[in-house]
Amino acid sequence: MLLDKIETPAVLIDIEVAERNIQACQDYCDEHKIALRPHIKTHKLPRLAQAQIDAGATGITCQKIGEAEVMAAAGIKDILLTYNILGPAKLARLRRLHDEIKLSVTADNLAVLEGLSEAFADADWPLAVLIECDTGGNRCGVQSPQNTVELAEQISQSMGLRFAGLMTYPKAGGTADVQAFMTEAKGLLAEAGYDCATISSGGSPDLHQAHLAPVIKEYRVGTYIYNDRSLLVRGACGLDDCALHVLATVISTPTPERAIIDAGSKILTTDLFGLGGHGVIIGHPLLAVSALSEEHGNIDCSRAPGSLAVGDRIRVVPNHACVVSNMVDQVYLMDDGKVFSVEAVAARGMVV
């Protein structure tokens, strides 16, 4: 299928760019002997998860059990679930996954460990549990290196569980904080008799600084495969490294200064990521996606009045690629300007 046959709005993935991003990241991790465990929340496509594994990733990361179930059903054999799992229904699903694949999870409190132990007490082999640490990201995670010892003790004493190490999702620019926190925690755990088989960190903005925290043995990245405007403005990638574009059609030009496209918040999302506007328009540096309603996008043409006409098609690099993947049932995989696959976004909407 040729590009001009695609109905808009549509999400296009340039496979050559995505594969280049996969390889560059893998090469970097190989060079620094860091295991790579990509987060599939960015693409939600088994095909690309497999491409990441084929390039050398040790396994994948998922945030939700539903995502992990989709990936396991598609043949992915090693999954880290970076989420506190609570409640009998979810624990039963987790147990089923554990029976099928090499599964590990994270936890940051005793209540979660209690639930995991109850669900896994009679498992044939123990569930690997990493302690989540808050190294400055202000999300989940134990608050100090000292707190890891209590949880490691609890894991070791819990039927059906095995202490597997430490995990963090730091804030951007937090590499030094990760190194300090994890080094101290690792030392305290060693004194208490616990070995950290894995210490896992992540985040695309600081991917190429991962080696500056040598305590880290594994790195989890999601956005790097597609890149987006949030990484572009940080200088973490170039426009040519952005693999995901939203293709949209100009449906109205109410004034020379304003054009309206058929992509609104239901495809570009309202995720601003602290940025002004909703994306970068390829080939039109003077135009901006200035406002969105659900199905309409406003293009500010005031710096180049009249530069768009009804029927024109534009490509937008969104602020945040991962949330855009979650908005569409299918994406168009492109190679050399042609669609070679219309791929179902199999893990789309898997938030449970």
Q: Among 43, 90, 93, 220, indicate the residue that binds ligand PLP (CB under 6 A).
A: 220
Contact map string, positions 156 to 175, toward ligand PLP, x by CB under 6 A: -------------x------
Length of the chain: 352
Q: How many Å apart are CA 81 and CA 39, to the nearest integer? A: 10
User: Interhelix angle for 46-54 vs 15-31, to 10°?
Assistant: 40
Restricted to residues 49-78, the positions that interact with ligand PLP (CB under 6 A) are 61
Contact between residue 71 and residue 40 where contact means Cβ atoms under 8 Å apart: yes
Q: How far is CA 43 from CA 76, 224, 299, in A?
A: 15, 10, 27
Contact map string, positions 250 to 289, toward ligand PLP, x by CB under 6 A: ----------------------------------------
Q: Among 136, 222, 277, 318, indicate the residue that binds ligand PLP (CB under 6 A).
A: 222
What is the smallest separation between the CB atom of 27 and ligand PLP, expressed in angstroms? 17
Restricted to residues 185-214, the positions that interact with ligand PLP (CB under 6 A) are 202-204
Helices (H), 101-228: 110-120, 145-157, 175-191
Restricted to residues 22-51, the positions that interact with ligand PLP (CB under 6 A) are 39, 42
Stretch (H or E) spanning 316 = strand 313-318
Using CB under 6 A as the binding rule, whether residue 223 contacts ligand PLP is answered as: yes
What is the smallest separation between the CB atom of 296 and ligand PLP, expressed in angstroms? 28
Using CB under 6 A as the binding rule, whether residue 229 contacts ligand PLP is answered as: no
Using CB under 6 A as the binding rule, whether residue 224 contacts ligand PLP is answered as: yes
Q: How many Å apart are CA 143 and CA 160, to the nearest integer? A: 26
| Token couple for 61 | 């990361």
In DSSP terms, 219 is beta-bridged to: 36, 201
Contact between residue 81 and residue 167 where contact means Cβ atoms under 8 Å apart: no
Q: Among 57, 81, 210, 221, indicate the residue that binds ligand PLP (CB under 6 A).
A: 221
Using CB under 6 A as the binding rule, whether residue 230 contacts ligand PLP is answered as: no
For ligand PLP, the binding residues (CB under 6 A) are 39, 42, 61, 82, 169, 202-204, 220-224
